[in-house]
Amino acid sequence: MMQLYDNPASPFCRKVRVVLIETGQIDAVEVLPAAGTALDPGQMPLAENPLGKIPVLTRPEGPALYDSRVICRYLDARAGGGLYPESRLWEVLTLEATADGIMDAAVLMVYETRCRPEAERSAPWIEGQWDRVTRALDAIEARWISQLAGPLTMGQIALGCALGYLDFRHGARDWRQGRESLAAWEAGFARRPAMEQTAPGG
């Protein structure tokens, strides 16, 4: 059986759990809790991923896989899920990368306040991360909405998880303001059973 090192609050882990549900593989995985930071690796699976990050997926047939994009691509190939359609492959991969960038910036904002002593925190640095988020959201609203229609893709899953994380950790910043099309899409996508089952804090 495969094992997934996971933390329910992580949007990157959520991506993997959504893919497992959407591709019918959730019962093929044992979920193991993991938590830690660069300052204190805690329960992170360092033997499986020397970078000390999650998610990590162990599998009987080979070395452990890490980085959510690698794991999701593997799980999709394993199940023949079709989340990376050949006809739109580069668009799907770029949308997934954009969503992952939103997650990266949003997570770094959290780490700045949780991992640094108050006197060492940088408000301009935090706002610089939020600027990355807003530029990405504006680009999606302006140019990528058409990629959110049609059959389920990995780009849609990644974006849904990124937006869910913004609500979870940065809800007061109201990412929906001025982005009516993206907000409408998210409202519908969030109702997918896989998204409801993996909602952070749920």
Segment 85-97, tens digit of pLDDT: 999 999 999 999 9
Stretch 99-104: mean pLDDT: 98
Res. 202: pLDDT tops 70 = no
**Predicted local distance difference test score (pLDDT) of residue 38:** 65
**CB of 182 within 8 A of CB of 174?**
no
Say whether 153 sits in a helix, a strand or coil. coil
pTM for this structure? Answer: 0.95
Q: Distance between the two ends of the chain, CA-based, in angstroms?
A: 26
Q: How far is CA 53 from CA 36, 49, 56, 57, in A?
A: 8, 7, 8, 11
The residue among 201 and 193 whose pLDDT is bigger is 193
Fold of the CATH domain 86-192: Glutathione S-transferase Yfyf (Class Pi); Chain A, domain 2 (1.20.1050)
What residue ranges do the domains of the chain occupy?
A: 2-79, 86-192
* pLDDT value for 59: 96
Count of residues making up the chain: 202
Q: What is the CATH number of domain 2-79?
A: 3.40.30.10
**pLDDT at res. 39:** 65
Structure tokens at 55: 């998610």
